[in-house]
Amino acid sequence: MEVSSRKGYTCAIRAVKNMFGKKKASKPIAYDHENEKPAVRCSICTGEQVAGFKDVRTGKFREIMLISRPDELERFKEGCGTDTVEKFY
């Protein structure tokens, strides 16, 4: 990108910054606190992790989001309002 003036350079930088958007605050995730608990299902073969909620009575897992980076797991924990999450395989 060729820029002829300082003012044009500032506009180009601002455009690049706005392209990626602002970091969004994590919203609370609604779930049944009595019958469900936050959990992460991990694949032994691929290492894929999926965050969601495991039903305490039936053991059924409800997927919420794919975890590909450690900060996504932290965002899930913040949304649930918990510090610990059960991992199962």
Nearest to 39 by CA among 15, 19, 63, 20: 63
DSSP 43-78: -TTT--EEEEEEETTT--EEEEEEE-SHHHHHHHHH
Tens of pLDDT, residue by residue over 54-66, are: 999 999 999 999 9
Rounded to whole angstroms, the Cα distance separating 37 from 59 reads 10
Rounded to whole angstroms, the Cα distance separating 37 from 31 reads 8
Number of domains in the chain: 1
pTM of the model: 0.68
In a domain, 17, yes or no: no
Nearest to 86 by CA among 40, 27, 42: 40
Lowest mean pLDDT among 16-30, 31-45, 62-76: 16-30
* Domain enclosing residue 73, as ranges: 23-88
